[in-house]
Homo-oligomer: A and B are copies of this chain.
């Protein structure tokens, strides 16, 4: 599998990289099919927003062209892009002459069991809460210890994903997915202004649902809203949509709107 650093084959980086020292950077996990990049513009948009908020001097045109070339070589699988603030001396202060490092590594198409999307999954109730940090909310930055802790909470393969809540107990997202509910025909997904990663698949689903005439709302959801939902599903850029059919003592059917949205996305990641 190919690995590139700053556009050239290489698979090691200096220990002075600020991505390692402080998690000072961003990442994207990108589906590549037949050499083409799914949701390229959305990945670029989230990167641009992240670079703006972290004040990373990232050459977005260069990132795009490297991504396209990398996808051409990878053909099929996952392209993981990491951008960091590059090398730094001691200390948190960003170097005035920072030069971002761009790391691309290829992996195979993730081998999730087809039953996850066909029959739905059981959701694990993570005890790890997401801290509220509006300055970082929505970004796919490299500070991901909360996800590491949450994913460590269960080994049981019967649970394919875990629910993460904020410190007020509000459901926010999955450990590596975003969360949607359907209630009275309306599509609801948690606001990600205080915590959570604003997924590219979440954005795509919202746009396509609205275009299809579905009422959509981005809101603060309570735990009770989750339990009272008619349909629940998770999504990300790699697997598309997984219906949630079990959570603690609750069960849901795979819902009609969930099924329709799954069908509306088959062009993206051949789910």
Contact = CB atoms under 8 A, between A and B. Distances in A.
A15 B94 CA distance: 21
Given A55-B152, A91-B151, A92-B151, A15 B105 contact: yes
A228 interface: no
A50 to B, nearest CB: 11
Interface in A133-155: 133, 135-136, 141-152
Interface residues of A, number: 57
A49 interface: no
A72 interface: no
A92 B174 CA distance: 12
Contact of A13 (B15, B54, B89, B91): B15
Nearest to A107: B90
Contacts of A78: 90
A124 interface: no
A17 B21 CA distance: 12
A143 B18 CA distance: 11
B15 A82 contact: yes
Nearest to A89: B107
A145 B141 contact: yes
Interface in A241-269: none
Nearest to A144: B22
A198 interface: no
A240 to B, nearest CB: 17
Contact of A145 (B22, B82, B103): B22
A109 to B, nearest CB: 11
Q: Which of A84, A89, A91 has the most CB of B within 10 A?
A: A91
Interface string A65-91: 000000000000010101011000111
A236 to B, nearest CB: 12
Contact of A19 (B12, B20, B80, B105): B20
Given A82-B21, A131-B132, A149-B135, A144 B13 contact: no
Contacts of A128: 135
A113 interface: no
Interface of A: 3, 5, 11-24, 27, 29, 54-55, 78, 80, 82, 84-85, 89-94, 103, 105, 107, 110, 128-129, 131-133, 135-136, 141-152, 167, 175-176
The 9 closest A-B pairs by CB, nearest first: A23-B23, A143-B143, A131-B131, A22-B144, A131-B133, A12-B12, A92-B151, A92-B147, A93-B151
